[in-house]
């Protein structure tokens, strides 16, 4: 059997079509993941309070776009939801006091959450590490920072409470 006959036989079985669909699906997922990186950048720009934009709407819109891009890019929801909640809480903290004492520690937690999302974008294939454990560690760090500094951050943030209810049921303790 020569190569032409073999290729013809493979084509008649539809294997070429399946391979083509698989390759194009992979390409569209890669394109969707590129949009996640762009959406993360938009959240980063929006997560700081500014007197020129004194409403939280832009950061909420940026987080919604990130969540949609992550869904299209097949990025795990838990790390994305945590990063979005932390970004919105950052805006609220900076709205109240841009020179607050917790900024260094809080900024580290939010930056690490952002970096986790970006790392997940670049993972290919089956997700053996989908960011669950890292999200839990970041969540606990955020709780510790706010417990020491500003307990009102948690009570004021419906996004952080939603994350807590979705992923931490039974594990979270109340902060007043």
Q: Where are the domains of the chain?
A: 18-167
Higher per-residue pLDDT: 67 or 27:
67
Residue 155 has pLDDT above 70, yes or no: no
DSSP state of 56: S
Of 10-24, 131-145, 158-172, the one with minimum mean pLDDT is 10-24
Quick one: which of 87, 148, 144 has its CA closest to 116? Answer: 87
pLDDT band at 172 (very low <50, low <70, confident <90, very high): very low
pLDDT cut 90: percent of the chain above it: 30
Query: Would you say 86 and 113 are in contact if contact means Cβ atoms under 8 Å apart?
Result: yes
> Judging by beta carbons within 10 Å of its beta carbon (0-12, 13-18, 19+), is residue 146 exposed, middle or buried?
buried
**What digits encode the pLDDT tens for the residues 112-148?**
999 999 999 988 655 556 788 898 899 888 888 877 6
Mean pLDDT: which of 68-77, 127-136, 167-176 is highest? 68-77
Taking the C-alpha atoms of residue 95 and residue 47, their distance in angstroms, rounded to an integer, is 10
pTM to 2 decimal places: 0.73
How many other β-carbons are positioned within 10 Å of the β-carbon of residue 13? Answer: 10
Query: Would you say 113 and 79 are in contact if contact means Cβ atoms under 8 Å apart?
Result: yes
């Amino acid at each position: 059997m020569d190569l032409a006959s073999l290729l013809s036989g493979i084509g008649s079985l539809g294997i070429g079509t399946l391979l083509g669909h698989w390759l194009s699906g992979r390409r569209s997922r890669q394109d969707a993941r590129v949009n996640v990186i762009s959406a993360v950048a938009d959240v980063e720009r929006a997560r700081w309070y500014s007197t020129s934009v004194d409403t939280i709407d832009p950061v909420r819109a940026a987080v919604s776009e990130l969540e949609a891009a992550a869904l299209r890019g097949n990025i795990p929801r838990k790390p994305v939801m945590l990063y979005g909640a932390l970004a919105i809480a950052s805006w609220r903290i900076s709205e109240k006091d841009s020179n607050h004492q917790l900024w260094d520690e809080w900024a580290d937690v939010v930056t690490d959450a952002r970096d986790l999302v970006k790392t997940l974008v670049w993972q290919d294939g089956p997700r053996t590490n989908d960011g669950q454990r890292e999200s839990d560690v970041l969540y606990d760090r955020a709780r510790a920072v706010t417990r020491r500094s500003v307990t009102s951050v948690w009570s004021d943030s419906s996004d952080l409470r939603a994350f807590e209810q979705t992923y931490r049921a039974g594990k979270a303790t109340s902060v007043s």
